Amino acid sequence: MILDVLENAPRYLTLNPGFAKAFEFLQRPDLKELAVDRYEIDGERVYAMVAKEHGRKKDDALLESHVQYIDIQLVLAGVDEMGWKPKTRCKDSSGPYNQAEDIQFFADLPDAWLATRSGEFAIFFPEDAHMPLISSGVIHKVVVKIAVNHG
């Protein structure tokens, strides 16, 4: 898991071949004006989802993890209090891994909370269980999904 500000994005470009295209998209000057929708960046290897949603309460959310994709979650407005826990420490599965949607949920409590503000991003790798969209207000964010195997 990584928490940082967008201006430091260049230091992460070597972590995955898709990160360059992902961060290029996240630095678009019109990013805040994009409609809530899915945006193809590099086919199924890299794509973005723009969201504006009311936050959830911690008690109403579950940790989630992915196998096929890395998430880069950039907050554009609001504060997303994202929960985090190493997936290896998650013991309370809320069901099997859903391969079609690349998601598994856990009822475990997060080990840490990340107050992610406008201009800040979190990167969640397959080893990271995370609980996004925790807020008392509206969160405007972009989630870029980058294939782990960028073949």
Percent of the chain whose predicted confidence (pLDDT) is above 70 = 99
> Read out DSSP for 49-107?
EEEEEE-B-GGG--EEE-SSEEEEEEEEES-EEEEEEEGGG---BSS--BTTTTBEEE-
Q: What gap in Å lies between CA 21 and CA 8, rounded to an integer?
A: 15
Q: What gap in Å lies between CA 13 and CA 112, rounded to an integer?
A: 25
For the whole prediction, is pTM greater than 0.85? Answer: yes
For the cut 80, the answer to whether the pLDDT of residue 150 exceeds it is: no
Give the pLDDT confidence of 43-98 residue by residue, as tens digits: 999 999 999 999 999 999 999 999 999 999 999 999 999 999 999 999 999 999 99
Q: Which pLDDT value is given to residue 49?
A: 98
Q: Which CATH superfamily is domain 2-147 in?
A: YhcH/YjgK/YiaL (2.60.120.370)
Amino acid, res. 105:
F
**pLDDT band for position 151 (50/70/90)?**
low
CB 130 within 8 Å of CB 90: no
- Domain borders along the chain are 2-147
For the cut 70, the answer to whether the pLDDT of residue 19 exceeds it is: yes
Residue with tokens 């898991």: 1
